[in-house]
A = this chain, B = another copy of it.
């Protein structure tokens, strides 16, 4: 038996072509392309197809994928009715897990994979992938209205993924710069090697469960506070701080008490998270475009950033992708409890790329345990215990 390593830390659980991290240099690659280049030149639609297929698509392939995504944005009205039956107080991640689990009932023919032919049927896999990615944004945006008692807007086919998502959230066409920022956020969150939620997707996929089950499991795993959810906490922290002049004392007190400052540092990167650098640039761009007329929390965030970099940069701790995505989403008027759901929309592209890779060379995940429990013993009748 191999050595027991808690959390399987350092244990290779899969061979993968999809993404790679160079933590020393602070580089993240999707299919070999540095994330900076994708953020600059690509779109969420193109990046999704790159993650899924392994290559940057031709004009024709991208156009086909994009139009499939647009056509599949609608969800059946029965799903809307189901969502109306959910308590308005529920967290968007709980709603998302429930709604995605229900999709396999609403769209039959996509149940468990029952043969090796199905695992190798790239048409089937592609179609499932399109349908799930397309509907994630719709479901998250619909909930924003349904939970307040209003009918959600109908998705539009004439907008990009990012534009339509913001349109559905706010019932108006988004400012082009904000739509661009959302598109970049979706690119940056789409994939990050084999973290807990992606691993969870692989384990569920390995029994040839349906892709809806795979994404449902991954959403549940992402929802845990040790994984997703940090960007929501960044916003709560900024609200706690209250004003820019209190940021320095807040950070120093947290550091002195060895408490968490949300949105700081990342175990994979010894230097600054490359995604954070990109988002930091977008924050600056937005500040400039607005002539400084941004949400008050932005000023608190910039002050927290300054203090943290001053105190912790020499230890390799910098604001991470969650820090900046939180303040950018807030600037778009998105409530903090939706942030992890947006992460899930984007990461669905990566999860499904890993699903496809798992099916291509599947082996059920069945590790062993170290049994450390009781020796065999005799049952004792209840009267004699």
Which residues does A use to contact B, with CB under 8 Å?
A: 1-20, 27, 29, 31-34, 37-38, 40-42, 46, 54, 56-59, 62, 78, 81-82, 85-87, 89-91, 94-95, 97-98, 101-102, 104-106, 108, 111-114, 193-197, 199-200, 203-204, 206-210, 212-214, 216-217, 219-229, 361, 363-383, 385
Contact = CB atoms under 8 A, between A and B. Distances in A.
Contacts of A29: 374, 376
B213 A365 contact: no
A11 B20 contact: no
B226 A221 contact: no
B379 A9 contact: no
A95 B212 CA distance: 12
Contact of A87 (B106, B199, B365, B366): B106
Given A10-B368, A17-B372, A217-B220, 9 more contacts: A1-B10, A16-B370, A20-B373, A31-B374, A33-B379, A57-B382, A95-B105, A207-B227, A209-B221
A62 to B, nearest CB: 7
A224 B209 CA distance: 4
B207 A225 contact: yes
A209 B193 CA distance: 20
Contacts of A86: 82, 102, 105
A35 to B, nearest CB: 11
Contacts of A371: 16-17, 20, 193
Closest 7 CB pairs of A and B: A207-B224, A90-B105, A32-B374, A213-B220, A17-B373, A209-B224, A7-B363
Contacts of A374: 17, 29, 31-32, 54
A145 B229 CA distance: 38
Given A41-B381, A216-B101, A210 B223 contact: yes
27 contacts: A1-B12, A6-B361, A7-B365, A16-B370, A17-B372, A17-B374, A18-B373, A31-B373, A32-B374, A32-B377, A33-B376, A78-B85, A82-B86, A97-B213, A101-B220, A112-B225, A193-B371, A194-B369, A199-B367, A200-B217, A203-B203, A207-B221, A207-B226, A207-B227, A208-B224, A209-B221, A217-B217
Most chain B Cβ neighbours within 10 Å, of A18, A31, A91, A364: A364
Contacts of A108: 87, 89-90
A94 B89 contact: no
A105 B4 CA distance: 37
B385 A13 contact: no
B82 A105 contact: no
Nearest to A8: B367
Contact of A112 (B213, B229, B366): B229
A33 B13 CA distance: 33
Q: Indicate the member of A90, A97, A223 with the most B CB atoms within 10 Å.
A: A97
Contacts of A19: 373
A212 B225 CA distance: 15
B367 A11 contact: yes
A112 B16 CA distance: 30
A3 B8 CA distance: 12
Given A113-B225, A376-B34, A380-B56, A370 B12 contact: yes
A286 to B, nearest CB: 24
A365 to B, nearest CB: 5
